[in-house]
Amino acid sequence: MTHWFHRNPLKATAPVSFNYYGVVTGPSASKICNDLRSSRARLLELFTDLSCNPEMMKNAADSYFSLLQGFINSLDESTQESKLRYIQNFKWTDTLQGQVPSAQQDAVFELISMGFNVALWYTKYASRLAGKENITEDEAKEVHRSLKIAAGIFKHLKESHTPKLITPAEKGRDLESRLIEAYVIQCQAEAQEVTIARAIELKHAPGLIAALAYETANFYQKADHTLSSLEPAYSAKWRKYLHLKMCFYTAYAYCYHGETLLASDKCGEAIRSLQEAEKLYAKAEALCKEYGETKGPGPTVKPSGHLFFRKLGNLVKNTLEKCQRENGFIYFQKIPTEAPQLELKANYGLVEPVPFEFPPTSAQWTPETLAAFDLTKRPKDDSTKPKPEEEVKPVKEPDIKPQKDTGITCLFVVCHLLTKL
């Protein structure tokens, strides 16, 4: 499963010292600056630490964000912003734009950018965890939940914080609303993949499985459409992944819809539905090859090599042959020219993002502490202000090798263990 989900790279950032010589006039302010520096460095370290788990990530993120809130919000919880909001310049790369960073002298920009990386970490953690050979029940639950948590973080950033930026994000940058929305939808779709495989494993009604697959395909189509106006140079690879997943799950929908039609003695329509599934599966296979040949951000995954992918091909083939035999011996129905319209709506199993909120301002922030930052003593000529075109050192992410195929795809193992959810 590590190589079943496409993952764009983590955002990289320039170090921030939080040293404000002359501005900091008291020990409490000095301590906050030291704590901001150390908690930020700790959080950045955890993004690439394979031993990090969701509890560690949440604690580290809350520690930094609660301190950073003092640079953003007024202490009396009014609508007035903190006087420190624009004291520091922050630089972050974007997941699709290489190593040339965006830079803003705005603590809100830092809050959103770091929150974005936290959400990316949850998606990578889910992918890595699902790739384990012997996954436990608790780990399986974390895969499903981590994707929903990531979706919730992305959603919160888009709805509650990006509108507060003084300088709107440029086209193709991570903080642009279309890009964040694509991440939200992809997380929902991938979490729903787990739901589908669970429904298959538990042998739920074909109609329910078809509806879930159709809804998931629509998620991927929507995510792809959201990225359609971006430059192919940096979006083509990601879009190929979204497109192949859309075709794959539409094929699943037609396959199980065919089973539903056969159970209703509509064998001719069932054959046509299975033929459409066969065509879409072949298209998904072709897109897997195109995806592998497309250059772009993120490591190349290999969905067509997974048992979960190959199982669908065998299922479509066997179900179609069964329908054709039944039609030749029993039904003798005409096969429609047009594929049946999928008007399927799942009433169960649809994934919603887990609601997310940043932690409140740290108790270390008091009126006295804030007063110990004297902006009148800030140097007039800030020659240390970084240049936006400077390159930031990329994040060295651990190279995760996929576990060997044990005869049952990790996704099905995950779903088998999710039966107690």
Task: Look at residue 99 and give its three-state secondary structure.
Answer: coil
Q: Which ranges of 202-231 would DSSP assign to H, the alpha helix?
A: 206-226
Output the CA angle 393-11-237, nearest 5 degrees. 110
Give me the pLDDT at residue 391, please.
63
Q: Which residues contact 346 (CB under 8 A, 6 or more apart)?
A: 208, 211, 212, 214, 215
| Mean local confidence (pLDDT), 191-207 | 89
Bridge partners of residue 24, in order along the sequence: 373
- How far is Cα 333 from Cα 268, in angstroms, rounded to an integer? 5
* Percent helix, strand and coil across the chain, each to the nearest 5: 55, 5, 40
**What are the Cα distances from residue 198, in Å, to 119, 194, 212, 305?**
24, 6, 11, 20
Does pLDDT of 392 surpass 60? Answer: yes
| C-beta separation of 110 from 381 below 8 A | no
pLDDT of 3: 56
Radius of gyration, CA atoms only, the chain: 25
Tokens of 250: 């539409």
Sign of the Cα pseudo-torsion (389, 392, 398, 399, in order): positive
CA distance 233 to 155: 26
Domains along the chain with CATH numbers: 88-359 (1.25.40.280)
Whole-structure pTM value = 0.91
Orientation of helix 107-130 relative to helix 177-201, angle to 10°: 20
User: Pairing state of beta strands 90-92 and 102-104?
Assistant: antiparallel
Q: How many CB atoms lie within 10 A of CB 141?
A: 15
Whether the per-residue pLDDT at 98 is higher than 80: the answer is: yes
pLDDT tens by residue, 231-289: 999 999 999 999 999 999 999 999 999 999 999 999 999 999 999 999 999 999 999 99
Among residues 49, 46, 68, 65, the alpha carbon closest in space to that of 57 is found at: 46
| pLDDT the model gives residue 386 | 52
Instruction: Please state, rounded to an integer, the average pLDDT across all residues of the chain.
Output: 89
Other CB atoms within a 10 A radius of the CB of residue 238 amount to 26
